[in-house]
Copies of this chain bind each other. A is one copy, B any other.
Amino acid sequence: MKHTYSSKLLEDAVEEFATLPGIGKKTALRLVLHLLKQDDRDVERFGNTILRIKQEIITCRVCHNISDTEVCHICADRYRDKSTICVVESIRDVMSIENTQQYSGVYHVLGGIISPMDGIGPADLTLDSLEARVKSGECREVILALSTTMEGDTTNFYIYRRLKEYPVTISTLARGVAIGDDLEYADEVTLGRSILNRTSFEDTFKKMGG
């Protein structure tokens, strides 16, 4: 639907919002009209927050996670196990794993995965910095937690080749039928993998604190 805007500034604002992923012109207009109805102070805070995120948010120089400080609070936490590094694609994955409250090691955010189709090669990722961390000697295990796509597998393999000379264990996330899911609805690849990589019942039970 074509829109006839009565204000150039309104149109600009709608165009800006419509550049966001998943936001079309119609939704963008609704958002802008909503903002127009809010208090001056609230809208000012909104605008200023957007200005600040680019100016002030930095990435942790150790793990490349988003941070307000030079070293993020996970890397700076002395209770976290620095000998285990979980390699993830993005900071969203860090959040997901943190939410499980099951992981006490540290992270390494790659900033993407190797994807020739999108023009992303190893040099675009934080791989040198990962190797440097492993080389420094403190690390004993690297957990590869990338997505199970072709690009994820390629990246896993690339990292494996770069790190295999170092005295570290390289592991990947367990893949299998999700807890609560019926076997009959699981796809064959997942079900097949979960049979191949079956785990000792006693071990699992113990890990869960049983």
Contacts and interface: CB of A to CB of B under 8 A. Distances in A.
A13 B4 CA distance: 30
Contacts of A53: 9-10, 13, 32, 35-36, 43
B73 A57 contact: no
A98 B67 contact: no
B7 A66 contact: yes
Copies of the protein in its oligomer = 2
Contact of A35 (B48, B50, B68): B50
B33 A1 contact: no
Interface in A26-61: 27, 29-36, 38, 40, 42-57, 60
Contact of A40 (B6, B54, B67): B54
A11 to B, nearest CB: 10
A161 to B, nearest CB: 28
A94 B54 contact: no
A17 to B, nearest CB: 8
Contact of A50 (B8, B13, B23, B72): B13
A19 B42 CA distance: 10
B30 A22 contact: yes
Interface residues of A, number: 60
A5 interface: yes
Given A31-B20, A33-B91, A46-B50, A56 B99 contact: no
Contacts of A6: 60, 65-67, 72-74, 91, 94-95
The CB with the most chain B CB atoms within 10 A, among A9, A32, A53, A55, is that of: A53
Given A7-B68, A43-B53, 4 more contacts: A3-B99, A7-B57, A20-B31, A44-B51
